[in-house]
Amino acid sequence: MHYKKMLIAMASTALLFGLGYGPAGEVSAENSSAQTAAKPAIKAEFTTIAQTSEASAKAKAEQEMKKFKNLIDLQQKALSEKFKPGEIRYVYINDKEYQASSAGSSISGATYSIRYNTYNEYVEKYAAGNTAMPLRLQQQPEGYNLWVAVIAPYLSQKEAAKISNQVIAEGKASGKKIYVKKLQEKRTWVQLIYNMPSEKNGKRGVLGIVAEPAGPNDKTVESEPVVAQSEKLEVGGQEVIYTPLDKMEYKSVAWMNPQTRINYIIRETRGHLTKEELLALAGQIIEASA
């Protein structure tokens, strides 16, 4: 078994800014050779401005990283120390100047996890003897290779958000520059993450299969909410929810096993599997976990 730490949801979010040029920004005029010649020059100028702005922002971020190097080093040190089984660790940087900068997120977290790099290793060392949370496939998804199988402590999205807010409040009140909170969690979740070894139709998809405990009062899969595009279907006697989000190139199948109170979610982004293939994959898991 390989014990490593995985960063969880409190990592900083990257924002992408675009600079465009089009008809709305052009002056209305009659066609002429002078106007035609001017357009490439205008667009080149906008490109230069965008590149200059990007370089300036990058230089500023690098400068701020150097300025707060000590705080960032202390944060990483707290996250890299040895974890106990079931441990979830949060680290909060309690520094107003750092929080006002673009140097990074003020709160981050990591968790104890077990990782397997092949499906056979995962089955032999974990899944074969695990009846509490079975996640087995009779056939591997066509066109995909397993990237990693991960077993880690589980928190629902609501629980993670609540604890994150709690850590921030405690960190601010602590008076410490670096505030560390450690939690022990008995619940676990399993993730099988696949990727495509090569592009298909110019895309390289990612497929994730998750088994996680349902909440005591949950009637649906909380981590994969039902939306307008969702469909209720039946696979192997089990009700499942199929959700396609075409604009995001995303689709999923989710269901709850009512006997074991385990949620299963199959998620594919930019992938090539059809609706029927995803449902067939769900059928494998439903049969194996019955």
pLDDT of 77 over the 70 cut: yes
pLDDT of 254 over the 70 cut: yes
**What is the pLDDT confidence band of residue 129, given thresholds at 50, 70 and 90?**
confident
The set of residues, in sequence order, having a beta carbon less than 8 Å from that of 92 and lying 6+ positions away, is 106, 107, 167, 168, 170, 171, 178, 179, 180, 181
Query: Tokens in use for 53?
Result: 């702005």
Give the three-state DSSP class for 48. helix
pLDDT at 230: 96
pLDDT of 23 over the 70 cut: no
Q: Between the CA of residue 25 and those of 21, 46, 48, 50, 52, what are the distances in Å?
A: 6, 11, 17, 16, 20
Host H or E run for residue 101: none
- Token pair 């003020």 is at which residue? 106
pLDDT of 208 over the 90 cut: yes
Residue range 223-231: mean pLDDT, rounded: 94
pTM of the model: 0.74
Which residues share a beta bridge with 267? 208, 252
pLDDT of 268 over the 80 cut: yes
Our CA angle for 206, 162, 264, nearest 5°, is: 35
